[in-house]
Chain A
Amino acid sequence: MIRRAARCLRIAVLAAALLPAAPADAAETVVRGSVPVDTAWEGSVTVIGQVVVKKGATLTILPGTTVRFPWLDEDANGIGDGELNVEGRLVARGTRELPIVFTSGREPPAPKDWTYVMISTSRESIVEHCVFEYAFTGLQVHLSSAAVRNSRFRRNFEALRFSTSDIAVECNQIADNAYGIRFESRGSTGSITRNAVVGNEYGFFPVIKSTSGVRISGNNIVNSAYNVKMGEEQREDLDFRGNWWGTADKGKIVEGFFDKRRETRVGRVLFEPYLEQAVEPCGIE
């Protein structure tokens, strides 16, 4: 493992030589522009503006790494410009004791301080034991295959967004965001299971053209406004069977849906049978 990490770090040094990046010191790495070759990050990493992991390159982030996105808003849209756009492959595999943290670089931090980590046209990216906080969207996955496990999403505007992907979203805690999971599944497959989607304003937000190709079951979904909010163009019914909604009272469960029961033009949340008690947490204490 140590040998492997050392090899990764050598690659990082090589990549840094190709980049307009200027490490402040050994413990602090500043990254701008693109990551064109296999690279490893560890320690404290500062991402300036948009950084792209190019096609064919793998970015490995080692346990205990903190990736900060300093406040920068050149387009003055109120959302920090910092983003990590992975078109190659991302392997962000933290541990329970040493998670990887993606966070704001300003004090005091606030939601939308940076844009997102976006995995796009990537294959087999891995996100485990990570923390995403103070982003517009913590993590977006599009046109990709990715596994997102044992991670924490908090104080973002949106926690997780995906479209047209093969995804496994398991054992994550998605709490204290405006939106939990927003998706336009557009043919996506995979599963969202054993997650705690709790304490957000909205739990799930299927926006448009979503189908039930991604199995969403075995989750705890308890949020303040709606647990599922169907988008105005989401016409198809969606399968949310087998989840815990914070109550076993069917009438109260239905109150947590913005769907055909409230707006006839949108689809219906299919939720029966539902769990009558919460799912045991996994991955994160």
Chain B
Amino acid sequence: MKGVLILGAILLAAVPPAPAGAQPAVVTTEGATATVHGKITRETDPVAGARVLAYASFQDLLSHRAAVVSADSGADGGYRLTLPAGSYYLVARKQQVPADGPVPIGGLFSFHGSNPFTLTPGSATEVNFSLARKTAEVLVKPAADPGSATLGGVVTWEGTVVEGVHVKLYLDEESAFRGVGYAVAPPTDARGAFSFEMLPQSDYYVVARRRGAGEGAGPLAEGDLYGYFVDNPVQVRGGTAVEIALELVGKGRDVGNADGRPRPSGTRIAGRISDAAGAVVRGVYAFAYEEKVMAHKKPAFISQEVDDQGRYVIYLSRGGTFYIGARSAYGDSPGKGEWYGRYDGTPDHGVTVETGASAERIDIRVERILE
């Protein structure tokens, strides 16, 4: 495991960053490479001339130091990128040159909701982007109350303000901008406006979501809206009122897919989920956690819903020890009446699997909580 990570780091170091304004580099390194491909769209229309930028770390993204940049997307919005296997933050952009640096007003941008991606050697991963337009720079004014700071703005989608959007603030990228975050504003009003009051001085990452099914957690569904503010992080200083304009994109197939499900890989944990009587329980998923205490934690990897025989497979992007459970819902803590269970083959519910190996017959028994 450690050897794989070190190899990945060496390969990344060997790839020169694309200089701003230079022709994009289509990297074709020999050895442990991976491929990313997909479509770039705006409001369902394909976008030609856009590029996908891969950053080896989040700090590199903030510093505009892309490890690899794709060629321009074609007339159908299609792109393809070959790069050393490893972990990347993927961003799509279309603008006048330079290719990197801050996005100018009018530029199109998308930070993929499934970032960061772990690309295993030899893998081919489909990643589709839907672009949002930057319509304004961050506006900083003196606050009405010099002793406090505020952050507010307007949320739009396809040129129209959107009501009922949940805008959240995160202090760093560690949560991958999922979960409760540092703060959440009341849903946007009929003018699409949101506001955070009495904020401590800090840098904030602004992320917005609107779910068709209302407030909740877990992966976005098709038709949900998602937005990562183009100029994150937003600096909020004491005594200032900061205003931003945030354009959302619609989640189509694979856009804003924040559920942490990797593509099929050679590393997996598989088994069957059943109730106390051994019967198949439909609509449940298996989860792999990195911490022993699972109930309130975010899983690292998730299976698809069990099949009609109760079977599941969790594909992992790496080996390690994972704590295995099953639930009928994703996100937040398990609730009363929900199907819930943990792998019982080890006292701590842990399963250790080597990278490239498969752990089979990791069967899980579930029961309804407090019923």
- Which stretch in B30-38, B252-260, B310-318, B340-348 binds the other chain? B340-348
A143 and B347 form a contact (CB under 8 A): no
Chain A proximity of B186: nearest CB distance (Å): 10
Is residue B141 contacting chain A, with contact meaning CB distance below 8 A?
A: no
Candidates B198, B335, B367; contact of A186 at CB < 8 Å = B335
How many of chain A's residues have a CB under 8 angstroms from any CB in B?
Answer: 27
Instruction: Encode A84-120 as 1/0 by CB contact (under 8 A) with B.
Output: 0001000000000000000000000000000000001
Candidates A54, A142, A143, A163; contact of B344 at CB < 8 Å = A54
B333 and A163 form a contact (CB under 8 A): yes
Chain A proximity of B243: nearest CB distance (Å): 20
A120 and B197 form a contact (CB under 8 A): no
Is residue A191 contacting chain B, with contact meaning CB distance below 8 A?
A: no
Check A265/B333 contact, CB under 8 A, given A50-B348, A52-B347, A121-B369.
Answer: no
Chain B proximity of A165: nearest CB distance (Å): 7
Q: From A144, which residue of chain B is reached at the shortest CB distance?
A: B370
A143 and B348 form a contact (CB under 8 A): no
How many of chain B's residues have a CB under 8 angstroms from any CB in A?
Answer: 21
Chain B proximity of A185: nearest CB distance (Å): 11
Instruction: Encode B322-361 as 1/0 by CB contact (under 8 A) with A.
Output: 0000000000111110001110100110000000000000
Check A164/B335 contact, CB under 8 A, given A120-B295, A121-B367, A264-B197.
Answer: yes
* Alpha-carbon distance A184/B333, docked complex (angstroms): 10
Check A142/B295 contact, CB under 8 A, given A121-B367, A163-B333.
Answer: yes
* Alpha-carbon distance A144/B336, docked complex (angstroms): 10
Is residue A233 contacting chain B, with contact meaning CB distance below 8 A?
A: yes
B183 and A121 form a contact (CB under 8 A): no
Is residue A65 contacting chain B, with contact meaning CB distance below 8 A?
A: no
Candidates B197, B198, B332, B370; contact of A143 at CB < 8 Å = B370
Chain B stretch 119-177: residues in CB contact (< 8 A) with chain A:
none
- Quick one: which of B335, B336, B348, B370 has the most chain A CB within 10 A? B370
Chain B proximity of A21: nearest CB distance (Å): 13
Is residue A158 contacting chain B, with contact meaning CB distance below 8 A?
A: no
Is residue B105 contacting chain A, with contact meaning CB distance below 8 A?
A: no
Check A52/B348 contact, CB under 8 A, given A143-B334, A166-B370, A208-B180.
Answer: yes
Is residue A246 contacting chain B, with contact meaning CB distance below 8 A?
A: no
Instruction: Encode A37-53 as 1/0 by CB contact (under 8 A) with B.
Output: 00000000000001110
Is residue A33 contacting chain B, with contact meaning CB distance below 8 A?
A: yes
Residues on A with beta carbons closer than 8 Å to the beta carbon of B198? 264-265
Residues on B with beta carbons closer than 8 Å to the beta carbon of A51? 347
Chain B proximity of A94: nearest CB distance (Å): 26
Check A143/B369 contact, CB under 8 A, given A34-B347, A164-B334.
Answer: yes
* Alpha-carbon distance A33/B367, docked complex (angstroms): 24
Is residue A187 contacting chain B, with contact meaning CB distance below 8 A?
A: yes
A186 and B333 form a contact (CB under 8 A): yes
Residues on A with beta carbons closer than 8 Å to the beta carbon of B2? none
Residues on A with beta carbons closer than 8 Å to the beta carbon of B340? 121, 143
A164 and B369 form a contact (CB under 8 A): yes
Residues on A with beta carbons closer than 8 Å to the beta carbon of B332? 186, 209
Is residue A145 contacting chain B, with contact meaning CB distance below 8 A?
A: yes
Q: From B341, which residue of chain A is reached at the shortest CB distance?
A: A121
Is residue A260 contacting chain B, with contact meaning CB distance below 8 A?
A: no
A165 and B370 form a contact (CB under 8 A): yes
Residues on A with beta carbons closer than 8 Å to the beta carbon of B183? 265
Chain B stretch 174-202: residues in CB contact (< 8 A) with chain A:
180, 183, 197-198
Q: List 28 A-B contacts (CB under 8 A).
A: A34-B347, A50-B348, A51-B347, A54-B344, A54-B347, A121-B340, A121-B367, A123-B370, A142-B295, A143-B295, A143-B334, A143-B369, A145-B370, A163-B295, A163-B296, A163-B333, A164-B295, A164-B334, A164-B336, A164-B369, A164-B370, A165-B370, A166-B370, A186-B332, A187-B336, A208-B180, A264-B198, A265-B183
